[in-house]
Structure 1
Amino acid sequence: MQLDLDTGAQAFRQQARSWLTDNIPQAQPPRDGAAARDHATAWLARCHAAGWSGMAWPEAYGGQGLAPDRLLIWYEEYTRARAPSTLDCTFVGLNHAGPTLIACGTDAQKAFHLPRILKGESIWCQGFSEPGAGSDLASLRTTGRVEGDEIVVNGQKIWSSYADVADHQELLIRTEPGSKRHKGLSWVICDMTLPGITVRPIRNMAGASHFAEVFYDEVRIPLSNAVGGLHDGWTTAMTTLGFERKTAALALQLELSVKVEELIALAAAAPGTAMAERLADLRAEAAALRAMTYRAVLRSTGTLFDGSLVRLTFAELSQRIHATAMDILGPEALLDGPWAHDYLEAYSETIAGGTAEVQRNIIGERILGLPREPRP
């Protein structure tokens, strides 16, 4: 599937391609920690200064307000140029928190946070998952006790990416005593410098420590930091997940087509490899994913469930592509930093953002109309 471009779109593509060619950093970005934050925020600041920040955000809030076809063109060119990964410490602010504040936040929340996110001056992390509430998010147990004009938070979150370098967190907690499941939750803005917060980075098998667990001990958050209304956090959280599963990962989805072409070149340069059929399948699957991505973005109406189709396809295809890279490289894979790192990181794709099993349940029950899975 290809975009049918008019003259204006073609000119936009050339403009984006030229700017990226002239400006993408040449140095390999650090994996984690303060150095990774500095690299990511410097790149975002450069993009913002040139008018390439917040591509999907409305112009009223400082973004570019791009039409869907222009947004796809930007990310096509972004991945073609091999610009820095969008899955860095700026990801949550730009693709989760910012859009959620635009949709559900107060005027004061928008005025304070949105400009800082766009300029790379404020890094966000997500505080949704817990040790006993990952895929089943509604079973979360972190509490927020309302005392006057404050919410006093106690509990624990886990898999909070970039929490060790974040300024703020989108935090989902239970604020209504005695409530169960989706009821009585609140989505609040948590200042990560508040007393009572402890962040412990988690090193993954790829050697990076961009995950973290976060502990809250009588952390006092202003009541005015609730987004979308007190005790109605599930609605706000579904808004956040809608962005996460539809437009947030555009660059990552389109990047897989680029990686397949790199694999084909890699295989051609590796004597004795016989993977033509496998690579052809991967190229076709990447093209199918790209078509699904176009459909999800260009449709005038869409649902969270459409995002589950794309998310599941992306996660499993990413793992197959990186496994193929390991087979092509053979023992040399141990010496190839980028491919080996990405291969190990890809194992998390069928867990992050909702497990593959959860995505299949959503697709089966809410798209195909199959009977609900028996609940315990």
Structure 2
Amino acid sequence: MVHVEKTINFMGMRKTALTISFILLVISIGSLVTKGLNLGLDFTGGTQLELGFEEPVNLNRIREVLGETGLENPVVVLFGSDTEVLIRTQESMEDEEQRRIERRLVELDPQASVTEVRRVPSEMVDFTQIVQVSGVSEEQLRESGLFSRALYGSVRFDTVGDSVEVAVERSLDNVYISYLMDAIAEATDSRLELRRSEFVGPQIGEELRDEGGLGLLFALFVVMAYVALRFQYKFAFGAVLALIHDVIIVVGIFSLLGMEFDLTVLAALLAVIGYSLNDTIVVYDRIRENFRLMRRGTTEEVINSSLTQMLERTLITSLTTLMVLLILFFMGGELIRGFSAALIAGVVIGTYSSIYISANLLVSLQLTKEDLMPPPKEGEDQEPIAP
């Protein structure tokens, strides 16, 4: 029999813990239903720019410039160092350039507008896009300087019926990026260069969201099957419900605080599942062992004894993990802040759920020693055949 000098009565607070978990789940689900998630570009689609400056710049000034150019709620953060800036926006650079052209067309004629933007035919090798404009003449467009060679490269004007088709060498998204860089350089009085630009389409973002959700569900199914095979089905229910509990609360925290939810956070959720499961498996292993070693004691007493024995190991593991995550959160930069925040919440909640959800449910499911007895071997109960 395993001897424990002082056993902590964890299960004495099981009803209080269930109440706390219920309240947290209600708040999380309520926030997800009413506020939803602040999805990042990975899921919604948009544009990301990485700019390099010669010297540190004022991020607030860059945000002001982007707002003045028409971008709504852009995200501007430092990337790696105080001279590297990351700009993320849900707007399409091509759509923004089209709107900028339309604003300038209205100055020429209130009836003028962009009727179509399309790719050029394959035989026009020197051009990339055609902008079809109505409401103004070809002569007005030429004289206005709206399609300047400095931004658009080679430009060709053709009158087709009542419209003017303007073939441009540089694509509209690249034109708008150059326009933004010129505006930022002028406002900050600093030289800069474009390190990288990428666009995520909304269709790709939708696929990432769906596949990520399916990945979470598949992970939970595999966990349930694994625990059921290694232990017993009551353990499987406890493990999976604890993981669902952890994921909902972590996602609810992001919804409640309005933090950006992107692919790094989704990866953190999968890591939380792995961490919480590992902690739960260690606790379950000790509970199973003590059920077989302790000849006396109720289910609650065996679980209390097991949790007490594992407390030191659990706390040391969780605290050392949290120390690393806190350093990442405060010193790792904006790009991994969501990732580290999700893991911090997941480690804390996962440690709690290993005790008060996983183990607690074993009591609710009335786990007994008979549930853990190995099945009799075939022919074990048969009478031996006399010689």
Question: Which of the pair is proportionally richer in helix?
Answer: 2
RCO (CA 8 Å, sep 6+): is it higher in 1 or 2? 2
Higher Cα Rg, which structure? 2
TM-score between the two structures when normalised by the length of structure 2:
0.23
TM-score between the two structures when normalised by the length of structure 1:
0.24
